[in-house]
């Protein structure tokens, strides 16, 4: 049985997109991984740039509303920012988790790299645990 994971942040533009990319690669065929936002705004160009530095192409990713995934069966629903945790409609899952990463959207590429690196460490640990 394949594990189903939904990663949620506010705009589905950076943090949830990065987490989705890492988890997809780390878990490969062991999981289906998606991301969504409570107020989707499109993928941030600097998120694409910092992930490209590590060999990830986010050009095929979409910025989706969390409502798109309501009513589906999930093993994990993971919020990756405090705002999404507060405003995300409840989506039932075997495990509802929260981890908070800073919002890099008002920063420069270095801040995006720092957030990317923090998410990579978290995603690697998470993938080992499940």
Tokens of 125: 């640990």
27 is a catalytic site residue: no
Catalytic residue of the set 6, 9, 36, 58: 9
130 residues of the chain, pLDDT tens digit each = 899 999 999 999 999 999 999 999 999 999 999 999 999 999 999 999 999 999 999 999 999 999 999 999 999 999 999 988 888 778 999 999 999 999 999 999 999 999 999 999 999 999 999 9
Is there a contact between 46 and 53 (Cβ–Cβ < 8 Å)? no
Architecture of domain 3-129: 3-Layer(aba) Sandwich (3.40)
Residues in the chain: 130
> Among this protein's residues, is 107 annotated catalytic?
no
Q: Catalytic residue at 88?
A: yes
Residues facing 9 on adjacent strands: 37
Rounded to two decimals, what is the model's pTM?
Answer: 0.97
For 48-76, letters b (16+ CB in 10 Å) and e give bebbeeeebebeebebbebeebeeeebbb
Among 88, 91, 115, 119, the one annotated catalytic: 88
Which residue in the list 36, 47, 81, 119 is annotated as catalytic?
81
């Amino acid at each position: 049985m394949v594990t189903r994971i939904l990663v949620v942040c506010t705009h589905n533009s950076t943090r949830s997109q990065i987490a989705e990319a890492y988890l997809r690669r780390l878990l490969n065929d062991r999981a289906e991984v998606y991301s969504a936002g409570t107020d989707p705004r499109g993928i941030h160009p600097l998120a694409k740039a910092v992930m490209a530095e590590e060999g990830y192409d986010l050009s095929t990713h979409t910025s989706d509303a969390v409502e798109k995934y309501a009513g589906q069966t999930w093993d994990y629903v993971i919020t990756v920012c405090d705002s999404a945790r507060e405003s995300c409609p409840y989506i039932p899952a075997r495990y509802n988790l929260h981890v908070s990463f800073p919002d890099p959207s008002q920063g420069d590429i270095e801040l995006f790299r720092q957030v990317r690196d923090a998410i990579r460490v978290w995603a690697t640990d998470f993938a080992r645990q499940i």
